[in-house]
Chains A and B, each alone.
Chain A
Amino acid sequence: MSIFKEKSVFTRRQFLIGSGMLAATVVITGIFAKLGFDAYAVSDDYIEKRAAGLYNLDEKMAIRKSHENSEILQIYKDFLSPGEVSPVSEKAHHLLHTKYGKEIPAMIEELHAHQHDAA
């Protein structure tokens, strides 16, 4: 039985078509990749500027820490923990801690129950 195989001939035309196709693919992929990396760089640049802006604003604030804010300290002394500054007092815990989802109706009930205390 005979076996038939392709001759190992590689013509200039074949080389040019093959390398042309490869080159076109590399160029198109390169342009796409460049656009993507540029978009990434623009995004990184924006994030850096935004972070710098936030730090800058923070540095310019007269009061930068809540526990040094005289108005907050006064609220604790007058209402949340009368006579002292106690951030974890029971009233502060109930009024200032955030509730989520199914906890909200109970929190509203509780606020209604203490409505007269606040007044």
Chain B
Amino acid sequence: MSEINGKVLKHGEQTRTMHWMHMITFILLALTGIGFYFDIGFIGGIFGGEANASLVHRWAGVVFTVGPALYILLNFERFARFMDTIATFTKDDFGWLKTMGGYIPFLKGDVPPQDKYNAGQKMLGHLIIIGCLLMILTGFPMWLWRGVLPAAFLAFCYNIHFWVAVILILAIAGHFFLAAIHPKSRVEFASMMMDGYIDAEISAHHNEKWFNSLQEVKE
């Protein structure tokens, strides 16, 4: 492996701010949601009672919705590039899925060069976008129109809200494990949660196709 001395700006300031905000609201929403569903008094107690936990859940939901919407409107180019990246599936991405990026010990083989996001991250991107939209589209009617919507439709919303929450919590747990704990990929954590930069050598190895498209700025 050749040595590349330098660092890559992977995530801009607004992206990192949006990620922080979405992470905090997601934790609040998941925690209060688990408290409601399983009727865990302790979780309600953290927020000063069930009524307050309910308020926190609703208003965290508002921030969870408005935050990314503002980000997209203020950073449309960045959002469009992200959507283009995750919507592009080439044979290299299918090659990554065949070997699971080398993360699973018994799946041997060469991992093909990847974009800014590998095939797993692309699939997670789709899951999060679709999951969040479903949570938003079922959550607000449960709050604002519960008195006027047919009971069967509300029950449908509750079921979708619950099962999508289960899938999202499991997916985010996997995302956290790979991005913050797994020794092969935990360098990503500092990039998204701190200054946005990642070591050029690591980037060239994990995101070769994207790295080759970057421009070098001497400092």
A contact set with B: CB distance below 8 Å: 1-7, 10-11, 13-15, 17-19, 21-22, 25, 28-29, 32, 36, 39-40, 42-43
Give every chain B residue within 8 A of A5 (Cβ-Cβ).
8-9, 214-215, 217
Q: How large is the interface on B (under 10, 10 to 19, 20 to 34, 35 or more residues)?
A: 35 or more
Residue of B nearest to A25 (CB): B133
Q: Cβ of B141 and Cβ of A36 under 8 Å apart?
A: yes
Distance in angstroms from B83 CB to nearest chain A CB is 5
A6 to B136, CA, bound (A): 32
Q: Cβ of A17 and Cβ of B145 under 8 Å apart?
A: no
As a 0/1 sequence over residues 151 to 170 of chain B, the CB contacts with chain A under 8 angstroms (1 = contact) are 00000000000000000000
Distance in angstroms from A34 CB to nearest chain B CB is 12
B contact set with A: CB distance below 8 Å: 4-9, 72, 76-77, 79-81, 83-84, 87, 129, 133, 136-137, 140-141, 144-145, 147-150, 200, 203, 211, 213-219
A-B contact pairs, 10 of them (CB 8 A): A1-B7, A2-B216, A3-B8, A3-B9, A4-B7, A17-B87, A18-B76, A19-B80, A42-B148, A43-B148
Give every chain A residue within 8 A of B213 (Cβ-Cβ).
6-7
Distance in angstroms from B127 CB to nearest chain A CB is 15
Distance in angstroms from B100 CB to nearest chain A CB is 26
* Extra inter-chain contacts (9) besides given A14-B83, A36-B141, CB under 8 Å: A1-B219, A4-B203, A18-B77, A18-B80, A21-B129, A29-B137, A39-B149, A43-B147, A43-B148
Contact of A2 among B77, B79, B144, B218 (CB under 8 A): B218
A28 to B72, CA, bound (A): 17
Most chain A Cβ neighbours within 10 Å, of B81, B149, B217 = B81
Count contacts between A and B, CB distance < 8 Å: 95
Give every chain B residue within 8 A of A32 (Cβ-Cβ).
137, 141
Residue of B nearest to A22 (CB): B72
Q: Cβ of A4 and Cβ of B200 under 8 Å apart?
A: yes
Give every chain B residue within 8 A of A36 (Cβ-Cβ).
140-141, 144-145, 148-149
Residue of A nearest to B79 (CB): A18
Distance in angstroms from A30 CB to nearest chain B CB is 11
Distance in angstroms from B48 CB to nearest chain A CB is 29
Q: Cβ of B83 and Cβ of A17 under 8 Å apart?
A: yes
Give every chain B residue within 8 A of A4 (Cβ-Cβ).
6-9, 200, 203, 211, 214-217
